[in-house]
Structure 1
Amino acid sequence: MQTATPLSRWALALYCLAVGFSVAAVVYHQSMTQMIAASFGLPSGALWGLSVATQSGYGAGLIFGLPLGDSLSPRRLIPAVMSGLGGVLMLLAVAPSLPVMIVFGVLAGLLSIGGQLVIAYCARTCSAAERPAVIGSLLSSLFAGLLLARVLAGWGSVQIGWRGVYMTVGALTVLLGLAMRRAIRALPPAASVGYVRMLGQQAQRWLDHAELRRYALIAACFFAASNGIWANLGSLTFATLHWSAGQTGLLAFTSLFALRSPKLAMWMQQRMRWQNAVILLGMAMALVSLLGMVEGASLPMIIAFLIFTDIGVRSVQALTQSRVLDIDPPAASRLNSLYMTVFFFGAAIGSWLGGVTIHHLGWAGMYLFPLLCAGAGIALLHLPGSAAKLAKV
């Protein structure tokens, strides 16, 4: 086992950029749907297939691509994934039709796992003392990438068109991939087993690590709350407040407050057990949800609700994901693959259940849903045996 060496500020900054640009590729299109659809003579609703394709590709990458981080040399794999993603983004810029864009969208989602590969690589190579701060910085970059991608893509598409946005971010991503080649240490693969056998071992790894199951399920419950809110917020504000998509989009800036969530998670973890930190965060989400049910759809209440919910969800993710990566650092990519897969499906279920709740209860359902999700996460925290049985089903 190689001795961990301190990570330079330059390298950390480069890794943070790589994480942000990787995850951003999944959401660029969300702010440009009207312009993309108009260029093909289609209604904006016709672009749902592009969103599904990108998310499906990302899900497949988490399951089938992320474990490769332990079986291949990271110095070759991570730059190749980053450069490949940049190339696909540039192909999206010249796509002649929506079906072609959908195909490239699958590939973009599949290659967007570069950021998660970087996180797992740092978990393996950083010292135990340095690891929490590094992982926290990378997670902050991940959150920032999701936020800034939506904002800058919407602004950039007005200035240079949606094709110009894809060409620009594609070229920058390729350059980042080339730079990563020089910044990543030459390490041997952490696992010597073949790819097919390694995938087969993933199910057993899930069954063998009760803590992994608990961390992943708790994080999925909290992330379901976030996705349930943001997936249905636009339709609710339009139906009840008559807001435009642009007005609702401005609410995304509330996520700026959540960029410091990894630091908050580290601060809480240093002063209390991580379980107590999750309980406090869940209780804060529940309190603001209850206040929202009393206050209703006032703008200050909506903003406070989104801020506290985002901070709670992102802090719980930082708490649980950092602990997953500490279970077995040499197997970080394989463990992260399992964690993120459950996390991702939690988001999908949250979009559906949140939509059902909000459809029937309106704003009361919007405020109630994260309370229920946080309650489910806290319940799993206190019922490890039940969580383990649930995860095996």
Structure 2
Amino acid sequence: MTSTLYTHDHAAPALPLSLILLLATGAGLGAASLYYSQPMLALLLAEFKSTPAALGLVPTLTTLGYALGIGLLAPLGDRYDRRRIILGKAAALVLALLLAATAPSVAVLALASLAIGLAATLAQDIVPAAATLAPEAHRGKTVGTVMTGLLLGILLSRVVAGVVAEQLGWRSMFVAAALSIALLGIAVWRRLPRFEPTTQLPYLALLGSLATLWKRHGALRRAALAQGLISIGFSAFWSTLAIMLHAAPFNLGSGAAGAFGLAGAAGALAAPLAGRLADSKGPEVVTRLGAALVAAAFVAMAAVPDQLWLIALGAVVFDLGAQATLIAHQTIIYSIEPAARSRLNAVLFIGMFSGMASGAWLGSVVLARAGWQGVCVMAAVSGVAALAVRMWPAKKYAACAA
């Protein structure tokens, strides 16, 4: 076990690749825990003989737990040793996953799902940890690599869960997930250094400081607003894709939507490239390029909405743009106030989650009233709006915000 103490003023040496991969794996396994249940809902429905509405509480409470964890727990990374927080959440996540594996009823499974969502926010402690450990010249690249792990965890979790549940049963998937987090905890305990707290604020004052940071830093507001706008289109697309593919003229099953999800892996794998570009050319260039890719992809799909190849290509392009913009936004905010990285990250992801929640709701409404083309038009508008936020001169933006 290492006893090194890292401060935010530490002249950090280049990180070993093994440590970067550990952080990326940890972020991926933490985020994956949120999505294991989704492809197993049909099996859960059959075993518990419940209603779809009741079983819908499982993914809903998982997401709710994660949202609450980002707002209420992630800021603690500035107040306490981030290593201890990650280890504590890993232990809690193991217990929550085992509770899910042994759940005798939907009610217990729903309670376990809420706990899984809360504890899975360890992924949002790992990313600021990576930013703190990385030397400034390589921060974008390091954060991009860790975010690749997180994004691959999200994208591949559904595929893995579907296969394991079909072959070994859904309970086996939760047991395997608990084992993976336990092994992660051991590796983190052995490899991750301790972090010096950067504030002594009491808990309620720590939460209140989120609003203070929002008011103080125009760059944070721009990042949260732009990423939230991109997330509207991102969420609208993925929340309505399966329904659109199932209907005429495509008449495809749920497996087709899962295959489209793999296209998003291309964007995830390109995240380190976005980080390198942010390091060399500056993150502002990457935010504009990423938002432009998102807007262009949705404009193309809105113009020709009935071509599967274009939808697949569009998924790759806009996912790349969304992830590149997120990496660049994280690079920007982590440089604003190093002592508040956990709270800055929380504000950014609150904006992102707000956009995703809005996009899921708006997507379903627009799909019902204007069809798939309407969803693409709405997503294109949100992408163009995000680009406008990034293109608007910072001084003029600050004046308008004031």
**Which category describes the TM-score, using the shorter chain as reference length?**
over 0.9
Contact 2:263 2:316 in 1 (8 A): yes
Task: Quote the Cα distance in structure 2 between the aligned partners of 1:75 and 1:264.
Answer: 27
180-189 vs 86-95, which moves further: 180-189
Contact 2:230 2:294 in 1 (8 A): no
- Cα displacement string for residues 170-214 of structure 1 (whole angstroms, at most 9, x for unaligned residues): 111012112211212123212122222211222111111111011
Backbone CA RMSD of aligned residues: 2.0
Structure 2: gaps (5+ residues) = 1-8
Aligned to 2:343: 334
Contact 1:84 1:174 in 2 (8 A): no
- Is 1:186 the counterpart of 2:164? The answer is no
- Is 1:11 the counterpart of 2:19? The answer is yes
Structure 1 residue 125 displacement after superposition = 2.5
Query: 1:359/1:124 Cα in 2 relative to 1: closer, same or farther (>3 Å)?
Result: same
- Is 1:56 the counterpart of 2:64? The answer is yes
Q: How does 1:90-169 map to 2 (within 5 A)?
A: 90-169=98-177
Task: Quote the Cα distance in structure 2 between the aligned partners of 1:60 and 1:186.
Answer: 25
- From 284, 299, 320, give the equivalent of 1:290: 299
Aligned to 2:239: 231
Task: Quote the Cα distance in structure 2 between the aligned partners of 1:124 and 1:335.
Answer: 13
Task: Quote the Cα distance in structure 2 between the aligned partners of 1:390 and 1:264.
Answer: 33
TM-score scaled by length of structure 2: 0.92
Task: Quote the Cα distance in structure 1 between the aligned partners of 2:166 and 2:30.
Answer: 23
- From 345, 355, 367, give the equivalent of 2:376: 367
Query: 1:137/1:41 Cα in 2 relative to 1: closer, same or farther (>3 Å)?
Result: same
Aligned to 2:271: 262
Aligned to 1:281: 290
Contact 1:213 1:387 in 2 (8 A): no
Letter of the 1:296 counterpart: P
Task: Quote the Cα distance in structure 2 between the aligned partners of 1:73 and 1:364.
Answer: 49
Structure 1 residue 78 displacement after superposition = 1.0
Task: Quote the Cα distance in structure 1 between the aligned partners of 2:96 and 2:345.
Answer: 24
Letter of the 1:237 counterpart: L
Aligned residues: 392
- Cα displacement string for residues 360-388 of structure 1 (whole angstroms, at most 9, x for unaligned residues): 22121232122111111122224457866
Query: Share of identical aligned residues, percent?
Result: 26
- Is 1:252 the counterpart of 2:261? The answer is yes
Query: 1:225/1:388 Cα in 2 relative to 1: closer, same or farther (>3 Å)?
Result: farther
Structure 1 residue 37 displacement after superposition = 1.3
TM-score scaled by length of structure 1: 0.94
Query: 1:279/1:201 Cα in 2 relative to 1: closer, same or farther (>3 Å)?
Result: closer
Aligned to 2:386: 377
Contact 2:140 2:327 in 1 (8 A): no
Structure 1 residue 60 displacement after superposition = 0.5
**Secondary structure at the counterpart of residue 270 of structure 2:** helix
Query: 1:171/1:391 Cα in 2 relative to 1: closer, same or farther (>3 Å)?
Result: farther
Task: Quote the Cα distance in structure 2 between the aligned partners of 1:309 and 1:45.
Answer: 32
- Cα displacement string for residues 66-86 of structure 1 (whole angstroms, at most 9, x for unaligned residues): 011111112311111112112
**Secondary structure at the counterpart of residue 108 of structure 1:** helix
Task: Quote the Cα distance in structure 2 between the aligned partners of 1:56 and 1:300.
Answer: 34
Query: 1:13/1:272 Cα in 2 relative to 1: closer, same or farther (>3 Å)?
Result: closer
